[in-house]
Structure 1
Amino acid sequence: MNSAAFEKFGIKAFDAADYLQSDEDCAAYLQACLEQEPGNAALFTKALGDIARARGMMQLAKDTGLTREGLYKSLNEQGNPSFSTVMKVMNALGLQMNIGPQLSAG
């Protein structure tokens, strides 16, 4: 459907940020993205951006020392944030990464 059809029927486009209310929700969302498409950095970055928007980009900018505009640019599907930026954002959001051996598919 196009945006005119959405408006005609009163349908709001899905936005994951509307559903990310707890730390557990956010962690599960990032984990699901990693499990769904391992190695898809764009998907992970977009998910991190969804979480950032849910929590408030202005406060995140203050907490990370990065600009709000820079965060929006880095944390979208076309963004390519540095690992340092990802770690600053995750830390400011109260999230952490856990490393373990890769699970085999078979």
Structure 2
Amino acid sequence: MIAPNELTDPTVRAFVTAVNAGDQKAFSAVLAPDATMSDDGSDRDVAQWAEKEIWSSNGHMDVASESDDGLALVVDYRNDTWGEMRTAWRFVTDGGRVTRFETAQA
């Protein structure tokens, strides 16, 4: 596993750190105001998705690998709803903020 503080891209590092700390304020700060996302190929509302998949279900990311200069991760993601699953994450960043992220089973 790769420790969050060792992730290559500083914006992705901040995203993973916020998720793992349960820090909604830091998570919101790393997202661009108009950030978008998809889960298993379907676009979702970021705030609603994060509440369900991260905050209310204790989401946690254990990063197995990274590629594409740190903008693509393979993660063992777990939460109280779904348990643990291997997931792929891709990030688009601009100016130190995430403008889009996509996650799907890996």
Is TM more than 0.5 here? no
TM-score (norm 1): 0.29
More helix by share: 1
Q: Which has the higher contact order (CA 8 A, sep 6+)?
A: 2
More strand by share: 2
